[in-house]
């Protein structure tokens, strides 16, 4: 409401056509600058970890250390939010568990 310039206390039936059009334009073309991250406490997924080059993708066994298996966040795999990270954790966990 602050960006639209419309008085937030204005009754909805008092909003003019021009104000409605302005609000619509604002919603469809909202621009903002990212100034920082929320920090580790708010992090959703971590980048970095055990390189996938060091892991057998068929079994999740370490190529370097015998009888060591990896799954999920410990691996250097990260994806966009939307279930992909949970899928990575579940799929690699299943494989590691099966092969252990």
Ligand X SMILES: Cc1cc2nc3c(=O)[nH]c(=O)nc-3n(C[C@H](O)[C@H](O)[C@H](O)COP(=O)(O)OP(=O)(O)OC[C@H]3O[C@@H](n4cnc5c(N)ncnc54)[C@H](O)[C@@H]3O)c2cc1C
Point out which residues bind ligand X (CB under 6 A). 44-45, 72-73, 81-86, 89
What is the rounded distance in angstroms from the CA atom of residue 88 to the CA atom of residue 79? 9
Residue 85 CB, nearest distance to ligand X (Å)? 3
**Residue with Cβ nearer ligand X (8 or 57):** 57
Residue nearest to ligand X (CB): 72
**Residue with Cβ nearer ligand X (24 or 90):** 90
């Amino acid at each position: 409401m602050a960006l639209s310039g419309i008085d937030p206390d204005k009754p909805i039936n008092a909003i003019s056509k021009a104000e409605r059009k302005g609000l619509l334009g604002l919603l469809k073309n909202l621009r903002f600058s990212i100034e920082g991250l929320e920090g580790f406490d708010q992090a959703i997924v971590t980048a970095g970890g055990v390189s996938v080059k060091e892991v057998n993708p068929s079994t999740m066994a370490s190529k370097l250390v015998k009888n060591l298996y990896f799954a999920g966040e410990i691996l250097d795999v990260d994806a966009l939010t939307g279930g992909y990270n949970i899928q990575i954790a579940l799929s690699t966990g299943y494989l590691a568990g099966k092969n252990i």
